[in-house]
Structure formats: structure tokens, C-alpha cells
Amino acid sequence: MKTKFFKIFTVIALVSFTNCGDNKAKEAETTEATEAAVAKETAVTYQANSENSMIEWKGFKPTGSHTGTISISEGMVSVNGDAIESGNFTIDMNSIVVTDIPVEDEGNAKLRGHLTSADFFDVEKFPTAKFEVTGISTEEGKTMLSGNLTMKEKTNNISIPVTTSMEGDMMKLTSETFTIDRSKWNVQYGSKSFFDNLGDKFINDEIELKVTLVANKA
């Protein structure tokens, strides 16, 4: 069965530090939250494989850049024929990993601790982020997945370009690299959207992300 499929984060979500000289990926179209999609009874359900699904992040600050991953802990998507009809996914904010600093280096734990602290994503208070499908469309030949992304109890709708493939009862969805503006989810630390006179100590608002979702037929 051929099908166009969906998935993310939900993120999803993470932190981006930006270097003025770097070209960032295009920001996802971001609007107010909208009603979640509802699948018909005839839809086929696929469940996320948490071991093979993740979000890659990359960010920059004036003195350098950092990369990492974050896990999708669970999720499902409902497909009817070749159309995605609904879906929802959970992002484990405790699973933030830093990949550009060796894990044995003190800086790795320091950066991860900062990202998970109340300064950024406050994972003790907000251990998950969620993504809920609101629709799918085609724009300029690209499949665009739209959904409500909830992070730190703030919800916005984002639209991102994705591609999908099928191998037997397995689906794989991969997004293009895109950015979200963390200030729209009230992630304030080092943001020029909230603070003045930061000089070169700012952290850019854009978070650069790429989603890979593997899901198996339920």
C-alpha cells in the first residue's frame, strides 16, 4: 500500500544559537493553533518506533555552534488510502543529547544541563512537548504537514515540508531542515525578543530542526 504519511515532534523542540554569518533553514510557517484533524473509522493506524525516530537540532551563537538530538517517545498516525487523516506525537524533553561535544567532556553535561534547566526548556516542569496533526497539503510540489506544536504550555501551528516512503508495514517520514522561533513558545534565555543590551551574549531565537519518524503498522 502506498501512502503519504506524517510525523514529528513535537516538538517538538530545541534550542538554536545563531551565528550571523550562517545561513539558516527557512522558518516554518507559524500561526495560531487550530482544530486537530479527525480520522475516519476506515483509517489504518501506524505507531511510532521510538528507537528509530528522532529530531536532530542545530544552533549557533556568536562564538560557535552546537548540534544534538531529541527523542520521539510515542505517537500514532491514521492513514486512509494515500491520505494522512490524523496523528499525534510526544517528544521526550528529558532526552536532549548534545552531539558536537564528546560525552566525556565536562562541557557536554554543562550544555545539556543548561538546555534542560528552567533557563530554556525547564524539563522538570515540562517533561514533554506534543505535536498534533491538523492537516496535510501540497504546495509548489512539496508535501506540507501542518500541526499544533505545544511546548512549555504554549501552542502554535506550524507547517513543514516532508517526504515519506513505505517498506512493507513500515513507514518513514523525513522533514526538510526547518527552523522555529523559540520566543513564540516562551523560551526566553538570551533572546533579543525579551532582553535588551545583550551584546554578543545573545542566543538566536531560531531553532534548526530535522525530523525522522519511523512507524509500524499497528
Q: Are 154 and 130 in contact (CB under 8 A)?
A: no
Alpha-carbon gap, residue 48 to 76, rounded angstroms: 6
**CA end-to-end span of the chain:** 14
| String of DSSP letters for 122-187 | -TTT--EEEEEEEEEEEETTEEEEEEEEEETTEEEEEEEEEEEEEETTEEEEEEPPEEEEGGGGT-
116: left (phi over 0), alpha (psi -120 to 50) or beta: alpha
Alpha-carbon gap, residue 203 to 16, rounded angstroms: 7
> pLDDT 10s per residue in the chain (218 long)?
544 444 333 333 333 333 334 567 899 999 999 999 999 999 989 999 999 999 999 877 777 788 999 999 999 988 887 677 889 899 999 999 999 999 999 999 999 998 999 988 999 999 999 999 999 999 999 999 999 999 999 999 999 999 888 788 988 889 999 999 988 998 875 565 555 565 555 567 888 999 999 999 98
The torsion angles phi and psi of 7, rounded to 5 degrees, stand at 165, 155
Structural domains for the chain: 29-217 (2.40.128.110)
What is the 3-class SS of 66-104, one letter each residue? EEEEEEEEEEEEEEECCEEEEEEEEEEEEEEEECCCCCC
Alpha-carbon gap, residue 88 to 74, rounded angstroms: 9
